């Protein structure tokens, strides 16, 4: 205890007696009313209030001369002597009670241990394996979201949880800011109905609801209803609740094990004079969280400390085994009152707790609740007073019939006795009514008993709440948690010290959490309306989102149409008559054969397709142990070279080749060379390719319309240092096919799905009208990215595809590629997210500058966001890196959008591939075709679902083809060398 401060004496005053020594042995036993940090504030509650001014620094403490120093000094001396006497008296009583109730004063070490035990119980309750035997049931509530401020509408809330039944009409509107109007009516629930049949109970509820609707003149409307049902229920969806067991003196028969929503609907239907849409059944704790969540969107915990006690909080779906799905969060109703029912709190339960339990309606159950809640606190104090009186420690051993009567000492009496100023007077008044004729010492002692009992309650609640806060912090993966706890309940509200003690102990037990406690203004009724409003908002929002994303969900018939149209466009590209107007160009590559394994020798490969340029030496060895050995060097192409003259570009390329030949020490040899040139070319032979147009930021002059092999040869001539045999100009897609064909002779198709997309395949010469000759096959580079440029895909293009196309560098071109390739998918997603934000579905309707930035949403983010292993927390982190401050719900929507866009891309790609494999099958007149596709590209390789969905689509649309997909390794380097090797082999065969 803080000692009474000695008073300063001015001249002319007599010095007061020395102050009393500070009491010993009070502050060493952990968190309790004797703790030093509590002492000053607790002083009043522990008995100083009776002295009025004797607390340290009290404004009424005499501190100046009034009518003469001597008179004042005399009064002060008298007062100090009185204070000294009372302090000593109080100290004796307090020490005596502290010793007597030692087991109720819990140290921080014990509280931290309780916190760890409760965390284990939470884990058991969430686990499918342990839930059946868990005492803390951790019931899923199917409330998946807290209010986001955009809710609106007219709702009814029913609140059934005690002897009074409340009905509210809650109007949530948006004019300038969100406002809530509430009108309510309270109906009595008579004892005979509480203990009668379930049918009678729900008929009564339905009758009250009918009366309320008539008064509100809304019987003709079918308003959404939220039902706060404050009893333990098991739910498998938001609008059903199976009562596990009655509590709070309710005993209506035929309800336990039944769905209370169905029972209420049945009662409403039986009346037939109105209709109601019960959208949600809610526990009062959840109602509290939702009410506070409306005012503070950080609120993710609901806490009730009143007649009973319970808590709920927003848990990650991935931890809730009892509900399917890992996405998002759901509110869990802990039903923590049953903590300890398995004996896990036996070491801290006292004889008084056991006596309370024995005399209760449900012995052995709700043991934690019996230690902390308002229903039992007054009774706990009464049992302690009876025992102390019997032992002669109180009331001079007097025991009255009133003191022995259960329920005579109520929790409201505990609150009154612990008030700072009038507490001791109240104690005297209450104890006098019990007939025990208390002395001043008795009043001090009883006040201290109340303090110890209520302080223990606050400490225990702080420890279980601490376990929830730690779970939230760990779920979020943050060092420091910032959150809000919504609180309701008469004990928390009415007890003069309870809230402050709870806050203080919580902050001490969980120092790395910044917790705001928010008092629930209008209780669980408004909360039920909020749950309903959120459910209503989410249902409407999901409907509109589903409606929008439905355009990305292509049916089997639509995909068959895409396949059919791709086939028609391919035919047009192959025919001389339609080739010039065809959008899918079907360019002959003059690659007439895939590798047969006899290729042998050293080859050079050049790879030009972006800002970096590669030169490779590829050593191919045939025989029993075929090997391919590669050496390469990467060179940068400066922007001024990319956008300068053609001569400068090819001189730079030749300089890089010269450096590489020196580096490898092979300048003297005239090696065969393959040139991977990843720009649209029209080939007239294997070693001649006319550049149709530059892409990818290249602008070098005097190149378009020219043969790039000729430009390279001219560059080599100008240098006059070395000579090379340029055998082939190669597209990277063809290189991919050739690389895989070297591993698998069955590979006759190449596919790239990366930044861009393209495909090639071995076509029958007789079908390639642009090249003379009927015999054999030739690889055709489809250049399928331009599929749809004639409008044949307009029926499946969305407004988002059109927006991406309109703002691209080549508007109106490569439309198929813009729907399926990595360069554009992120941009489609970004456009959808902007639209959803404008419509208020995302980011609280706030469009950030980041979201307005083109190409900020890279396709790699799609791959990361859609990863099955990635929790929504990590999705939020990715969005935060993009400057998008998202909630859990936002993250789910973003993930859904990414999934819709990438799924469509994979299906469209699959439809194109199905057209190719079926064409090959028909070309060869086969019932069934077995073929391998060589694939490359970052989207195919890195996206978690793209390849699987694409494979399935090919299977569905080309059921007579068995297609194997083989991942290519370095198609543009190794593939170019292999094409060169095959070219050399065929050239030699022709010469011989």
pLDDT in tens, 191-229: 888 889 999 999 999 999 999 999 999 888 888 888 888
Nearest to 290, CA basis, from 524, 42, 507: 524
pLDDT at 89: 54
The whole-number average pLDDT for the span 99-125 is 94
The whole-number average pLDDT for the span 472-495 is 93
The whole-number average pLDDT for the span 799-826 is 92
Residue 805: pLDDT over 90: yes
Q: Which neighbouring-strand residues pair with 170?
A: 155, 182
Q: Residues 876-900: pLDDT tens digits?
A: 778 887 777 777 778 888 989 999 9
Residue 974 token pair: 């190794």
pLDDT at 74: 56
Q: Are strands 329-333 and 309-316 parallel, antiparallel or unpaired?
A: antiparallel
Q: How far apart are CA 414 and CA 456, in angstroms?
A: 13
Q: How far apart are CA 268 and CA 203, in angstroms?
A: 8
pLDDT at 176: 57
For a pLDDT cut of 70, what percent of the chain falls above it? 89
Q: Among the residues of 575-685, which ranges form H helices?
A: 576-579, 639-642, 646-664
Q: For the beta carbon of residue 639, count every other beta carbon within 10 angstroms.
A: 12
Q: Are 258 and 243 in contact (CB under 8 A)?
A: yes
DSSP letter string, 50-92: GGSS-STT-TTS--S-SS-HHHHHHHHHHHHHHHHHHHHHHHH
**CB proximity list for 940: less than 8 A, separation 6 or greater:** 751, 753, 754, 946, 947, 950, 967
Residue written as tokens 């591939």?
A: 913
Reported as type and span, the H/E element at residue 961 is strand 961-967
Phi and psi angles of residue 695, each rounded to the nearest 5 degrees, phi first = -140, -175
pLDDT at 175: 60
pLDDT at 236: 81
Strand ranges for 664-785 from DSSP E:
672-677, 681-685, 688-691, 725-730, 747-753, 757-764, 777-781
Q: Which neighbouring-strand residues pair with 113?
A: none
pLDDT at 771: 92
Residue 647: pLDDT over 90: yes
CA distances for 839 relative to 25, 389, 536, 540, angstroms: 65, 69, 16, 12
Q: Which neighbouring-strand residues pair with 316?
A: 329
Rg (CA), the chain: 41
The whole-number average pLDDT for the span 846-873 is 80
Q: Which of 105, 144, 169, 614 is catalytic?
A: 614
Residue 706 token pair: 């020219």
Label residue 958 left, alpha or beta by phi (over 0 means left) and psi (-120 to 50 means alpha): beta
Nearest to 304, CA basis, from 448, 493, 175: 493
Residue 27: pLDDT over 60: no
Q: How far apart are CA 63 and CA 125, in angstroms?
A: 60
pLDDT at 174: 64
Q: Among the residues of 924-943, which ranges form H helices?
A: 938-942
The answer to which of 27-41, 690-704, 952-966 has the lowest mean pLDDT is 27-41
pLDDT at 53: 32
Nearest to 123, CA basis, from 483, 471, 465: 471
CA distances for 265 relative to 205, 262, 271, 718, angstroms: 11, 5, 10, 91
Q: How far apart are CA 847 and CA 850, in angstroms?
A: 8
Q: Are 213 and 228 in contact (CB under 8 A)?
A: no
The whole-number average pLDDT for the span 514-519 is 94
CA distances for 736 relative to 223, 748, 821, 969, angstroms: 62, 10, 17, 8
353 is known as an active-site residue: no
Strand order of the sheet with strand 309-316? 139-140, 329-333, 309-316, 299-305, 481-488, 513-519
Q: Are 906 and 950 in contact (CB under 8 A)?
A: yes
Q: How far apart are CA 792 and CA 819, in angstroms?
A: 14
With cut-offs at 50, 70 and 90, classify the pLDDT of residue 522: low
Residue 423 CA to chain centroid, in angstroms?
Answer: 48
Residue 557 token pair: 């018939």
Q: What angle do CA 232, 235, 239 make, to 5 degrees?
A: 110
Burial class (CB in 10 A: 0-12, 13-18, 19+), 547: exposed
Q: Which neighbouring-strand residues pair with 934?
A: 750, 966
* Max CA separation in the chain (angstroms): 136
Q: Which of 678, 821, 891, 902 is catalytic?
A: 678
Strand order of the sheet with strand 747-753? 587-588, 777-781, 757-764, 747-753, 929-936, 961-967
Q: How far apart are CA 856 and CA 707, in angstroms?
A: 37
pLDDT at 345: 96
Residue 150 CA to chain centroid, in angstroms?
Answer: 19
Residue written as tokens 């070219």?
A: 983
For a pLDDT cut of 90, what percent of the chain falls above it? 54
Q: Which of 732, 789, 805, 936 is catalytic?
A: 732
pLDDT at 678: 83
Residue 469 token pair: 């806060």
Residue 891 token pair: 């993250």
349 is known as an active-site residue: no
User: Rounded to 10 degrees, what is the CA torsion of 685, 686, 692, 698?
Assistant: -150
pLDDT at 108: 94
Residue 333: pLDDT over 70: yes
With cut-offs at 50, 70 and 90, classify the pLDDT of residue 19: very low
Phi and psi angles of residue 62, each rounded to the nearest 5 degrees, phi first = -65, 130
Residue 18: pLDDT over 70: no
Residue 132 token pair: 């059946």
> Would you say the C-alpha torsion 581, 583, 584, 590 has a positive or negative sign?
positive
Q: How far apart are CA 576 and CA 582, in angstroms?
A: 10
Q: How far apart are CA 492 and CA 411, in angstroms?
A: 12
296 is known as an active-site residue: no
With cut-offs at 50, 70 and 90, classify the pLDDT of residue 42: very low
Q: For the beta carbon of residue 934, count every other beta carbon within 10 angstroms.
A: 32
Residue 873 CA to chain centroid, in angstroms?
Answer: 5
With cut-offs at 50, 70 and 90, classify the pLDDT of residue 523: low
């Amino acid at each position: 205890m803080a000692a009474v401060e000695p008073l300063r004496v001015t001249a002319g005053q007599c010095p007061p007696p020395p102050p009393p020594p500070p009491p010993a042995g009070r502050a060493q036993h952990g968190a309790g009313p004797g703790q030093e940090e509590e002492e000053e504030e607790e002083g009043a509650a522990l008995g100083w209030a009776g002295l009025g001014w004797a607390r340290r620094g009290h404004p009424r403490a005499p501190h100046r001369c009034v009518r003469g120093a001597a008179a004042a000094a005399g009064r002060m001396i008298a007062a100090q002597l009185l204070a000294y006497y009372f302090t000593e008296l109080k100290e004796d009583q307090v020490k005596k009670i502290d010793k007597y109730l030692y087991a109720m004063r819990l140290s921080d070490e014990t509280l931290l241990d309780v916190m760890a035990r409760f965390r284990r119980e939470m884990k058991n309750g969430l686990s499918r394996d342990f839930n059946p035997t868990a005492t803390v049931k951790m019931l899923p509530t199917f409330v998946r979201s807290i209010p986001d401020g955009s809710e609106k509408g007219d709702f009814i809330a029913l609140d059934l949880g005690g002897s009074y039944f409340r009905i509210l009409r809650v109007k949530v509107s948006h004019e300038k800011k969100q406002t809530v109007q509430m009108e309510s009516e309270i109906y009595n629930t008579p004892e005979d109905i509480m203990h009668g049949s379930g049918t009678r109970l729900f008929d009564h509820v339905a009758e009250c609801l009918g009366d309320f609707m008539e008064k509100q003149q809304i019987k003709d409307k079918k308003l959404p209803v939220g039902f706060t049902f404050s009893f333990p229920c098991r739910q498998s969806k938001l609008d059903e609740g199976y009562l596990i067991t009655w509590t709070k003196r309710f005993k209506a028969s035929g309800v336990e094990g039944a769905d209370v929503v169905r029972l209420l609907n049945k009662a409403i239907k039986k009346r037939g004079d109105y209709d109601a849409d019960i959208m949600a059944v809610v526990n009062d704790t959840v109602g509290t969280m939702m009410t506070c969540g409306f005012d503070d969107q950080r609120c993710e915990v609901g806490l009730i400390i009143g007649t009973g006690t319970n808590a709920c909080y927003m848990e990650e779906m991935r931890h809730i085994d009892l509900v399917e799905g890992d996405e998002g969060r759901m509110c869990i109703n802990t039903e923590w009152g049953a903590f300890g029912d398995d004996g896990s709190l036996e070491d801290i339960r006292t004889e008084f707790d056991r006596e309370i339990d024995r005399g209760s309606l449900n012995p052995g159950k709700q043991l934690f609740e019996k230690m902390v809640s308002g229903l039992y606190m007054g009774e706990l104090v009464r049992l302690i007073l009876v025992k102390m009186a019997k032992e002669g420690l109180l009331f001079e051993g007097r025991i009255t019939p009133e003191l022995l009567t259960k329920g005579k000492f109520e929790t409201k009496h505990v609150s009154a006795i612990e008030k700072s100023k009038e507490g001791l007077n109240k104690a005297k008044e209450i104890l006098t009514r019990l007939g025990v004729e208390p002395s001043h010492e008795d009043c001090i002692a009883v006040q201290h008993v109340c303090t110890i009992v209520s302080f223990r309650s606050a400490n225990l609640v702080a420890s279980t709440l601490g376990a929830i806060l730690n779970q939230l912090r760990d779920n979020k993966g943050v060092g420091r948690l910032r959150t809000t706890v919504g609180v309701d309940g008469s004990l928390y509200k009415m007890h003069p010290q309870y809230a402050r003690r709870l806050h203080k102990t919580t902050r001490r037990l969980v120092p790395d959490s910044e917790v705001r406690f928010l008092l629930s203004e209008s209780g669980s009724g408004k909360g039920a309306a909020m749950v309903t409003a959120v459910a209503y908002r989410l249902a409407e929002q999901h409907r509109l989102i589903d409606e929008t994303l439905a355009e990305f969900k292509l049916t089997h018939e639509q995909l068959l149409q895409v396949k059919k149209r791709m086939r028609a466009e391919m035919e047009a590209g192959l025919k001389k008559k339609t080739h010039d107007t065809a959008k899918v160009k079907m360019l002959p590559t003059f690659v007439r054969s895939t590798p047969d394994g006899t290729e042998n020798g050293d080859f050079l490969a050049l790879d030009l397709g972006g800002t970096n340029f590669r030169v490779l030496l590829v050593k191919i060895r045939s025989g029993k142990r075929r090997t391919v050995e590669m050496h390469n060097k990467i060179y940068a192409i400066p922007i001024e070279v990319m956008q300068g003259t053609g001569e400068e570009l090819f001189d730079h390329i030749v300089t890089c080749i010269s450096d590489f030949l020196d580096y490898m020490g092979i300048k003297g040899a005239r090696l065969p060379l393959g040139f991977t040139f990843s720009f649209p070319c029209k080939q007239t032979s294997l070693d001649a390719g006319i550049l149709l147009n530059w892409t990818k930021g290249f602008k070098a002059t005097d190149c378009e319309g020219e043969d790039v092999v000729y430009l390279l040869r001219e560059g080599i001539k100008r240098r006059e240092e070395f000579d090379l045999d340029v055998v082939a100009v190669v597209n990277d897609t063809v290189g991919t096919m050739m690389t895989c064909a070297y591993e698998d002779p069955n590979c006759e198709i190449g596919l790239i799905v990366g930044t861009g997309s393209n495909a090639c395949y071995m076509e029958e010469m007789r079908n390639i009208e642009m090249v003379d000759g009927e015999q054999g096959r030739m690889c055709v580079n489809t250049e399928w990215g331009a599929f749809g440029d004639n409008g044949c895909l307009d029926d499946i293009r969305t407004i988002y595809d059109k927006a991406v196309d309109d703002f691209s560098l080549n508007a109106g071109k490569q439309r198929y590629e813009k729907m399926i390739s990595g360069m554009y998918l992120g941009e489609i997603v970004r456009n959808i997210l902007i639209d959803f934000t404008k419509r208020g579905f995302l980011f609280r309707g706030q469009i950030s500058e980041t979201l307005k930035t083109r190409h900020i949403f890279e396709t790699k983010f799609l791959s990361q966001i859609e990863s099955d292993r990635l929790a929504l927390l990590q999705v939020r982190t990715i969005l935060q890196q993009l400057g998008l401050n998202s909630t859990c719900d936002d993250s789910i929507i973003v993930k859904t959008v990414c999934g819709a866009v990438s799924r469509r891309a994979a299906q469209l790609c699959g439809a194109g591939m199905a057209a190719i494999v079926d064409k090959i099958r028909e070309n060869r007149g086969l019932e069934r075709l077995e073929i391998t596709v060589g694939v490359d590209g970052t989207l195919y390789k890195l996206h978690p679902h793209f390849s699987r969905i694409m494979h399935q689509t090919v299977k569905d649309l080309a059921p007579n083809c068995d297609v194997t997909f083989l991942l290519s390794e370095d198609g543009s380097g190794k593939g170019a060398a292999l094409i060169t090797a095959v070219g050399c082999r065929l050239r030699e065969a022709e010469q011989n």
